Amino acid sequence: MTAQASPASTPEAPVPAARARGRDTGLYEPVAPPARRPAPRRRIRRTGRRLMPWLYLAPVLVFIGVFKLWPTIWGVYLSFFHVRPYLGNQYVAGANYQRAFSDPDLRAAVLHTVIDAVGAVAGSILVGFALALLLEGPARHLRILRTAVFLPTVVAMVAAASLWQTLLYPSRYGAVNSLLGAFGAGPAPFLSSTHSSLASVILIQVWKNAPYDMVIFVAGLAGIDRQLYEAAHLDGAGALQRLRYVTLPSLRPITTIVLTLGIIRGLRVFTEIWVATSGGPAGSTQSVVTYVYEQFSENNDAGYAAAIGTLLLAVTILLTCLNLWWRNRREAW
């Protein structure tokens, strides 16, 4: 006969901490329930919210990747080859780059590009800033004038260059020369002279790009605190002093943006030159991009053209980085 264990000898089950404390106080403290894992539907919703912005950006990213990023990578790759269609590309290492550094025609094109970029960027910034000072304000008539002034930016560059090519026709029958003849001035050659063709192209670019810079400067002027002008006026500052000590320092970030966009735009100038002068006369308006186009389309030297384009890309990135570094350093001051 088996012996039965007495109740006193039976081991007791573990008592929860809350219940043990309750024995002393007579109250039972609530125990927090275990954390629940998020439901699958909730996780799907969170994932969808994270992916939704990328879905909206996907078409633009695909477009940039196919038509911007991939051609750039392929161009850098071709710069190390002598491209021979149907015969296979021949690897030449850095021969195309050595040829670029010793090419006198390319050096002349670089000089023309630098002159064009400096003139066009400086002219666009000065004219755009002057227009912004004249047309900045909430008045309705100023909005109408800003819209009218902005119209040249909307016009395609091909149409603008063709229009100015007709206006600057180098005979007395041209529109501008007819106007000059009414004041007794002789017909100017404009685009047909090696001495004035580059200046004429710069004029076309300033006319086209200054309204764009104006809009950016107008946005910057609207963001300046008006109390700064009132304080300067109370201190006896004149209009020029307010412009120098209030407006210009406040527009430093905007000016950096305009300058960066202008440098990029000036280094890759092509359409206005090719439509108006085709790089002539006698190569006086030949730019780096038009020279690349000639090497690719007329001389069938895609490898050399790719090497020049790669160098131009590197210079553009370098100048942009230097401009941003200079801006950050000025702001730190």
Question: Tens of pLDDT along 91-115?
Answer: 999 999 999 999 999 999 999 999 9
Confidence of residue 35 (pLDDT cuts 50, 70, 90): low
Tens of pLDDT, residue by residue over 128-141, are 999 999 998 877 88
Q: Which SS3 state, helix, strand or coil, does residue 82 take?
A: strand
Cα→Cα distances 141→135, 144, 145, Å: 9, 5, 6
**Coil, helix or strand at residue 90:** strand
Lowest mean pLDDT among 34-38, 86-90, 287-291: 34-38
Q: What three-state secondary structure class fits 81?
A: strand
Our separate counts of H helices and E strands in the chain read 16, 2
Residue partners of 247: CB distance under 8 A and separation at least 6? 221, 224
Candidate from 12-21, 45-54, 283-292 with smallest mean pLDDT? 12-21
The DSSP letter of residue 91 is E
pTM: 0.79
Structure token digits, residue 193: 């002279």
Q: What pLDDT does 143 receive?
A: 86
- Secondary structure element (H or E) that encloses residue 151, with its range: helix 140-154
Q: What is the pLDDT of residue 38?
A: 55
Question: How many CB atoms sit inside 10 A of residue 211's CB?
Answer: 22
CATH 1.10.3720.10 fits 103-332, yes or no: yes
Q: Do the bridges between strand 90-91 and strand 81-82 make them parallel or antiparallel, or are there none, so unpaired?
A: antiparallel
